[in-house]
Amino acid sequence: MSPPVRAYVGLGANLGDARAGLQAAVRALAALPGTRLVACSSLYRSAPIDATGPDFLNAVVALDTTLAPRELLAALHGIESAHGRERPYRNAPRTLDLDLLMHGDAAQASAEITLPHPRMHERAFVMQPLQELGASVRGVDARALSSQVLERIEPPSWADGA
């Protein structure tokens, strides 16, 4: 078995009881085989970007996992589906969105997976929680981030109910 790798997963939701959905997702992530939940960021509210619908609730979790990137991504998609995620069109409102942001130092691009996540540097709702968790990220688009309104609404203890 491979040694654990630090992975970061972005969580978001803007339909239904978004907070409860994110808490359930944190529980599901912590229960993945070969995976340990290390930390959870504060909970943030942000307006949709390149989309319509209600504001999103967002957070980022740090995991130590022995799952390979594709295995972890497949598990994330399974958790989304279990929580009613539908994909009727690009950037549609959603009950749960889980994005694999980083998987150790993995850098890859294919039709199935791109690591690090290709748009995370342009999203304040990803970069602020990543920074909060102490993740080191290069190539941040500070100008794009400065125009995005991000509201911290709960400290990391929001996930304690998870």
pLDDT tens per residue, range 94-135: 889 999 999 999 888 998 899 999 888 888 999 999 999 998
Please give the helix or strand (H or E) that residue 79 lies within, else none.
helix 69-82
Of 6, 19, 97, 143, the catalytic one is 97
Report the predicted TM-score, pTM, of the whole model to 2 decimal places: 0.92
Q: Is residue 160 predicted with pLDDT exceeding 70?
A: yes
Q: Is 151 helix (H, G, I), strand (E, B) or coil?
A: strand
pLDDT of amino acid 81 = 87
Count of alpha carbons within 13 angstroms of residue 143, beta-carbon side: 0
Of 99, 141, 143, 152, the catalytic one is 99
Q: Is 85 a catalytic residue?
A: yes
Q: Take residue 81 and report the two structure tokens written for it.
A: 């589906």
Domains, the chain, with CATH or none? 5-157 (3.30.70.560)
Q: Is residue 92 predicted with pLDDT exceeding 70?
A: no
Of 27, 94, 123, 143, the catalytic one is 94
Report cis status (omega within 30 of 0) of the bond before 116.
yes
Q: Is 78 helix (H, G, I), strand (E, B) or coil?
A: helix
Of 27, 36, 64, 85, the catalytic one is 85
Q: How far is CA 17 from the centre of its chain?
A: 17
pLDDT band at residue 49 under the 50/70/90 scheme: confident
pLDDT band at residue 87 under the 50/70/90 scheme: low
Q: Is 94 a catalytic residue?
A: yes
Q: Is 99 a catalytic residue?
A: yes
> For residue range 62-79, what is the model confidence (pLDDT) as tens digits?
999 999 999 999 999 999
pLDDT of amino acid 139 = 66
Q: Is residue 52 predicted with pLDDT exceeding 80?
A: no
Reported residue count of the chain is: 162
